[in-house]
Structure 1
Amino acid sequence: MNRQAQIIKGLSDKELILNLYISQAIMLLIALFASRLLLGGWFTPFTLIEWTWSAVALGFYIAVAVVILEWLCIKVLPEKWFDDGGINERIFRNRSIFHIAVISFVVAVSEEILFRGVIQTSAGIIAASLLFALIHFRYLHQPFLFAFTIGLSFLLGYVYLLTGNLLTVISAHFFIDAILGCAIKYGWFVKNGKNR
């Protein structure tokens, strides 16, 4: 068991959720400071959000495609390839649907503002995608999960490159996390009697 898994195992579910919210708040603060330094304004990334239903719909369709791909991978690949140390299970298993939605929204906004809105806008898709994958360092000991995260990051970066609208990637990220959170809660992706 790696060091991070041991630390997380020692946290209560309440402490784990609190740490999640604190880490996302820190990420958003980093995004605001980086935006000021790199883009010239504290809230510049928020100007990259264009509120349209078509952006939300596109984000939803992308999320459905990603979730289907992950479901297929779970069905055909070894179960151990998806073991994140039980972190996602602990985050989502006992949450209400509303709380899953709140977690998913907070994560989607903070991560996409930082990685697409600030880093990709100022340093490009490769830097943003690799840094996005690296913040999910708990997957470093699981090559498939890490590769999947890198692929997802480049997909979101490419969608942002094509649309120029942060709302599309925020929506996609939100729906991916919310659907997968509900899948964990309700055991939709159960394999061999165990939830991924």
Structure 2
Amino acid sequence: MKNKQAEIIKTLSDRELVFHLLLTQFLLVVLSVGLGIVLFDNWSEFESLFTLNDSRIWTIGLPAGLIVVGLDLLLMKLVPESLYDDGGINERIFKSLSVPMLIIIPLLIAVCEELLFRGVIQTHTGLVWASIIFALVHYRYLFKWYLLVNMIVLSFLIGFIFSWTGNLMVSIMVHFIIDFLLGLIIKYRHQ
């Protein structure tokens, strides 16, 4: 199964990879809306998960994202590069993006994934199930123990932050900062 996915990815252009990434995010939103309609009693219950004027977006979300990126950069220096190899997918995606798209794509990913995994799944099944499902959805990491452990730890961290603050905007900020900064690093690493 892993090899089949790798073969398919090699046949895709960078532009097609980005298209499939966007398509996946669209499907996550559709799934979020569908599950939200079924699981939430009303729109205001769902809407209450978003608080825009919450200072914790900046005092918890931003620093948490920066700390994760800092730790990730440190670990990249300490562990073999082969452990971080995701088959080159992240590199192909982020290297092909313009700087404005390096903001838009990570923001879109953060909103779509946090909406489903924290807003819908964690709210109704708890932190453990949401974190496990989050890790499973990141399929290409399942075959690399180091990436899988990173994904599970990261999911639990973001899920904990959501449980602590009760605000999806805080978890969206954490997720965005991580994806945005690591995307920038990937894009400009060899320049």
Residue in structure 2 matched with residue 45 of structure 1 by the alignment: 46
Residue in structure 2 matched with residue 10 of structure 1 by the alignment: 11
Deviates more, 1:44-53 or 1:127-136: 44-53
For residue 44 of structure 1, report the CA deviation from its aligned partner: 4.7
Matched, 1:34 2:60: no
- Give the RMSD, CA atoms, in angstroms: 1.6
Gaps of 5+ in 1: none
The question of whether the paired residues in 2 share the 8 Å contact of 1:45 and 1:113 is answered with no
Residue in structure 2 matched with residue 163 of structure 1 by the alignment: 165
For residue 41 of structure 1, report the CA deviation from its aligned partner: 3.8
For residue 110 of structure 1, report the CA deviation from its aligned partner: 0.5
Name the CA distance, whole Å, in 2 between partners of 1:171 and 1:45. 18
Name the CA distance, whole Å, in 2 between partners of 1:90 and 1:42. 38
Residue by residue over 1:33-88, the C-alpha shift from the partner in whole angstroms, topping out at 9 and shown as x without a partner, is 00111113468534311012523312110111000111111100011100000000
Residue by residue over 1:128-158, the C-alpha shift from the partner in whole angstroms, topping out at 9 and shown as x without a partner, is 0100011101011110000000000000010
TM-score (ref. length: structure 2):
0.94
Change (3 A) 1:43 1:178: farther
Name the CA distance, whole Å, in 1 between partners of 2:134 and 2:47. 19
TM-score (ref. length: structure 1):
0.92
Q: Which runs of 4+ in 1 moved over 2 A?
A: 40-47
Matched, 1:128 2:130: yes
Partner secondary structure for residue 40 of structure 1: coil
The question of whether the paired residues in 1 share the 8 Å contact of 2:107 and 2:176 is answered with yes
Name the CA distance, whole Å, in 2 between partners of 1:43 and 1:87. 38
- Aligned ranges 1:1-196 → 2 under 5 Å: 2-41=3-42, 44-52=45-53, 54-57=55-58, 58-187=60-189
The question of whether the paired residues in 2 share the 8 Å contact of 1:92 and 1:181 is answered with yes
Gaps of 5+ in 2: none
1:48 partner letter: L
Name the CA distance, whole Å, in 1 between partners of 2:142 and 2:87. 12
The question of whether the paired residues in 2 share the 8 Å contact of 1:35 and 1:43 is answered with no
